Amino acid sequence: MRVFRLFAILVMGVTSVSLLFLAGCTREGNPWDGKPGKHVLVSFTPLFCFARNVAGDDASVMCVMTNRGPHHFDSRPADALLVKHADIFFINGLELDEQIAEKLKDGSGNSNLKIVETAEAIPENHLLKSGEEEHGEDAHHGHDHHHGKFDPHVWLGVPEAIVMAQKICDEMKELDPSHAEGYDRRAAAYIERLKQLQAEGQALLKDKKERKIVTFHESMGYFARTFGLEIVDFIEISPGAEPSSKKIRQVVEACKKNGVKLIAVEPQYPANTSASAILNELRSQGIDAQFVEIDPLETARPEDPTPTYYEDRMRANLKQLAEKMR
């Protein structure tokens, strides 16, 4: 019995020391240590690319969400540390990531942190209505995540991405006026690259006749508008929520009615059963349907994002489309 009590005391002591050590790491660590200039935090990967190209060497940029995108994000203690020591926090807005940002701010103790919703700079008449507004209760079938009045996936439209990059530039000049010239110069250069990306994509697809597609979830509206595509229907209005059998039949009928042979799927959901069911049903009826993988850039591996990541992935999307479209 004495040996058992001694062992129990030893285990409790080791556990207490371990907990104190972990608490110390959580409390004292600063992920911004050694990073120069203003500390610029962004919510997810496309905004990292926009901000990084504007910031250059005058500010440091870090991202809260990479492989945990805004649709499926759960915060960790390390996220609060990122927010605690940030000078400004750029998010998308349009009811995609505001709640995440506010919760992180509240939990960080950084009450003076300015949260900037970059999509709010886009004129309302340029925003697309959310498909959830049109699809009613089926939009929320089995899933509690939903969008607001407008489709929030604005970063996939190049004109909208340009507005967001300019908004970041304007906010950085206000935060750090001593480097205003640099922010202006880099933003202008980046915007020219985005315009070139749009021109390349439009040229790549200009001779394609079959321009109608079905997409995996409500994410490609701005992309389609930029590059002259027509989205006939969505498989999943809310990502991660399997559609009802009624919805699957609706998509199949929409494909048949509109001559759609391309179903856009996302790398984040490679084993999706509903998309495969639709593809197999169309093929069983003699329709030469096929998948085309299009990345909505909502997630990325933590090591992937670079200043050119947005442009690289968008070009990869366009190349995939060009290879599959007729």
- In the block, tokens 């709640």 appear at 99
The pLDDT assigned to 271 comes to 56
Q: Rounded CA gap, 177 and 42, in Å? A: 20
Domains and CATH numbers, the chain: 38-201 (3.40.50.1980), 205-324 (3.40.50.1980)
Q: Rounded CA gap, 66 and 46, in Å? A: 10
- In the block, tokens 């490609």 appear at 220
- In the block, tokens 């919510």 appear at 43
pLDDT per residue of the chain (326 residues) written in tens, 0 to 9: 444 444 444 444 433 333 333 333 334 578 999 999 999 999 999 999 999 999 999 999 999 998 888 877 888 888 888 999 999 999 999 999 999 999 999 999 999 999 999 999 999 999 999 865 444 444 444 434 455 799 999 999 999 999 999 999 999 999 999 999 999 999 999 999 999 999 999 999 999 999 999 999 889 999 999 999 999 999 986 666 788 999 999 999 999 999 999 999 998 876 568 999 999 999 999 999 999 999 999 999 989 999 999 999 999 999 999 999 99
The pLDDT assigned to 149 comes to 92
What secondary structure, in 3-state letters, does the chain show?
CHHHHHHHHHHHHHHHHHHHHHHHHHHHCCCCCCCCCEEEEECCHHHHHHHHHHHCCCEEEEECCCCCCCCCCCCCHHHHHHHHCCCEEEECCCCCCHHHHHHHHHHHCCCCCEEEEHHHHCCHHHCCECHHHHHHHHHHCCCCCCCCCECCCHHHCHHHHHHHHHHHHHHHHHHCHHHHHHHHHHHHHHHHHHHHHHHHHHHHHCCCCCCEEEEEECCCHHHHHHHCCEEEEEEECCCCCCCCHHHHHHHHHHHHHHCCCEEEECCCCCCCHHHHHHHHHHHHCCCCCEEEECCCCCCCCCCCCCCCHHHHHHHHHHHHHHHHCC
The pLDDT assigned to 240 comes to 67
Q: Rounded CA gap, 13 and 31, in Å? A: 30
CA proximity to 263, closest of 215, 220, 321: 215
Sign of the alpha-carbon dihedral angle for 131, 134, 138, 142: positive
The pLDDT assigned to 158 comes to 98
Structure tokens given for 77 = 């203690």
Q: Rounded CA gap, 36 and 61, in Å? A: 10
pTM for the structure as a whole: 0.86
